[in-house]
A and B are shown apart, each in its own frame.
Chain A
Amino acid sequence: MTLPAPVPDITPETETFWKATATGRLLIQRCAECERCVWYPRFLCPACHSTDLLWTEASGRGTVHSATVTSRGILDYKDAGSYVLALVELDEGPKMLTNVVECDPAEVFIGQRVEVVFHDTGAGVALPRFRPVTEAVAIPGA
């Protein structure tokens, strides 16, 4: 079943982030003072309180930090059935709530490597979700 792709609440603070999703880029903010990456986008760094946050393009790769198969969706997900809500730790450090898609929900596991995919909302922006990384397997003798 295809997950709903609701249109996000876009504010002046988050407009840059959402515009980039239209071209398949996952932006995150990095603090110029303490160099930590921050999720979700905001006006100031919650670690050192500097307002010098710079947009940077994330690798789009991460690791499943935790995941649940939930069947209790609300709002746009009321009729979504069972789906995976996950906390993905980006390779840049911060963890973000998202979905893991393109696989059997029961096969998602903590520690799994995932990569970003963008799901169009139909309103000019796309939702960053993640799918399992299919690592290239070296075939002996090939």
Chain B
Amino acid sequence: MSIRGKAFIAGAYEHPGRELPDHSIPRIHAEVALGALADAGLTLVDVDAYFCAADAPGLGGLAMADYLGLRVRYTDSSDMGGSVYLSHVGHAAAAIAAGKCSVALITLGGRPRTTSLRAPGQLMGAPPEAGFEPVFGLNVSAVYALAAARHMYRYGTTSEQLAEIKVAASLHAQHNENALLRKPVTVEQVVSSPMVSSPLHRLDCCVVTDGGGALVLVNEDIARGLDRRCVKVLGHGEAIEHSHGGWQDITVTGAVRSGRDAFDEARVTPADVDYVGLYDSFTVTALLAIEDLGFCAKGEGGRFVLDGALQAPHGVLPFNTDGGSLCNNHPANRGGMTKIIEAVRQVRGEAHPAVQVPGCEIALAHGTGGWLTTRMGNATVILGREDA
């Protein structure tokens, strides 16, 4: 069985806030839920399935379903870090295809900008590696930096090449009035910004923002009855990649597997993709995804991103036209949700005119959650126009 063409994204909403000190996190979930449902022309009463990550307040989805007053017959609060929302799209589409539900709501909300950051691995109690990583001062930017340093060593990738990814994101963000950072930057500015964890500079890192986002998926009957243009879910794949007992290749991500599964299910190839939303927690995260999803050969990512390849509307592979997490938004330190939302805008033809990809029919959104080097969740979703 395949989910191809069985479910549609009818609503997508990105919270406009970037600093929300007076919002409770449940309120953020509620605001984005209402926003996405309004976008779809639906209400909370229509929802019969609820999805959130394990960071949502309360046990699984129970507290948020209570808070929102949902009547839920299908729920999933599985977690893979910031990539999980792409995974949830796949899970929701599968549940819809199986007739388990008809209107699925997925929400994200958080306030890392106006509260203190949590440490990696501290979400759900001590994980098995707890004795062997924090004691050496592991931090998020450092484990991404280890992958970047090895990629540079092995393939000759340069800081200037990584910087091109930030430059493209910044050129897009100038058109997004909600973006946290709207000023275009140059390669020189990126590589001369302070070093955070070598070889990653400050401007290789994503922003920290409050906020959230939500999606609504529906079955085909409901999609047909809505006035809103829906986006068809064509394929999905996910993969956990990890340290293999210390034998891992830190330059490779699980996008190799999640991408292959998503392309197979969607029955398209990288050459068919008009737009990509790539989780860009760091510039190197997007670089590895470009390679591992098959948009170029392994090790060629640094050369691939040159010459404006990622810049919309006319680059070879327009990416993150909202400014991505490098410039626009990274709500709750989880960047997968906004990648889908902008992909939906692109397929609907509703991105900012300056960055709308002409004739965008097929979009791919991909998330890399958790950490490079140690263990990561990877999820890929391929979307098409309603008549695709």
Q: Are B145 and A70 interface neighbours, CB within 8 A?
A: yes
Complex formed: what's the CA distance from A70 to B194 in Å? 11
Given A37-B246, A77-B137, A97-B374, are A71 and B153 also a contact pair (CB < 8 Å)? Answer: no
Q: Is the CB of A87 within 8 A of B146?
A: yes
Residues of A within 8 A of B247 (CB): 36, 47, 93-95
Q: Does A39 make an interface contact (CB < 8 A)?
A: yes
Contacting pair A66 B150 (CB below 8 A)? yes
CB pair B246 A85 closer than 8 Å:
no
Pair B150/A83 contact, Cβ less than 8 Å: no
CB distance from B127 to the nearest CB of A (A): 10
Taking a contact as CB atoms under 8 Å apart, the answer to whether B132 and A97 are in contact is yes
Contact: A72 with B139, CB < 8 Å? yes
Please give, as numbers and ranges, the residues of chain A lying within 8 Å of B145 by CB-CB distance. Answer: 68, 70, 85
Chain B contacts for A90, CB-based, 8 A: 246
Q: Which of B195-203, B211-219, B286-294, B379-387 lies at the interface?
A: B195-203
> Which residue from B132, B150, B374 sits with its C-beta under 8 Å from A65?
B150
Q: Does A22 contact B (CB under 8 A)?
A: no
Contact B138 A39 (CB under 8 A): no
Does chain A have a CB within 8 A of B141?
yes
B147 within 8 A of A: yes
25 A-B pairs within 8 Å (CB atoms) are namely A4-B137, A5-B135, A8-B135, A37-B246, A38-B245, A39-B132, A39-B245, A40-B246, A46-B244, A46-B245, A47-B245, A66-B150, A68-B145, A70-B141, A71-B196, A72-B141, A74-B137, A85-B142, A85-B145, A93-B246, A93-B247, A94-B247, A97-B136, A97-B373, A127-B135
Residues 95-113 of A, flagged 1 when their CB comes within 8 A of B and 0 if not, give: 1111100000000001000
| Closest chain B CB from A94 CB (angstroms) | 3
Are B138's CB and A97's CB within 8 A? yes
Assess whether B138 is in contact with A69, with CB atoms less than 8 Å apart: no
Given the contacts A38-B245, A70-B197, A94-B247, A8 and B132 also touching, CB distance less than 8 Å: yes
Cβ of B225 under 8 Å from chain A: no
In the docked arrangement, what's the CA distance between A39 and B145, Å?
A: 21
Q: Which of A4, A40, A70, A76 has the largest count of B CB atoms less than 10 A from its CB?
A: A70
Interface bin, chain A: 35 or more
Please, which residues of chain A bring their CB within 8 A of the CB of B126? 9
* Docked CA distance A5–B200 (Å): 25
| Pairwise interchain contact B245-A94, C-beta atoms closer than 8 A | yes
Instruction: Enumerate the 5 nearest inter-chain pairs by beta-carbon distance, A residue then B residue, closest first.
Output: A94-B246, A39-B246, A68-B145, A77-B137, A70-B197
User: Hey, which chain B residues are within 8 Å of A99, CB to CB?
Assistant: 136-137
B128 within 8 A of A: yes
Please tell me if B248 contacts chain A, counting CB pairs below 8 Å.
Answer: yes
Contact with A along B156-170 (1 / 0, CB 8 A): 000000000000000
- Interface set of B (CB-CB < 8 Å, partner A): 117, 119, 126, 128-143, 145-147, 149-150, 153, 195-200, 243-248, 250, 373-374
CB-defined contacts of A39 to chain B, threshold 8 Å = 132, 243, 245-246
- Which residues does chain B contribute within 8 Å of A37, judged by CB atoms? 245-246
Inter-chain CA distance A76–B130, complex, in Å, is 14
A26 lies within 8 A of chain B by Cβ: no
Contact B136 A85 (CB under 8 A): yes
- What is the CB-to-nearest-CB distance from A90 to chain B, in angstroms, rounded to a whole number? 8
Partner of B137, one of A18, A67, A76: A76
Partner of A66, one of B129, B140, B146: B146
A94 CA to B298 CA, complexed, in Å: 23
**What's the least CB distance linking A41 to chain B, in Å?**
8
Q: How far is the CA of A6 from the CA of B132 in the complex (A)?
A: 11
Query: Which partner residue on chain B sits nearest A77 by CB separation?
Result: B137
Q: Which residues of chain A have C-beta atoms less than 8 A from B197's C-beta?
A: 68-72, 85
Report Cα–Cα, A9/B133, bound state, in Å: 10
B244 touches A47 (CB 8 A): yes
Q: A94-B245, A95-B246, A110-B153 are in contact. Are A40 and B131 (CB under 8 A)?
A: yes
Q: Which residues 43-101 of A sit at the B interface, judged by CB distance below 8 A?
A: 45-47, 65-77, 80, 83, 85-87, 90, 93-99
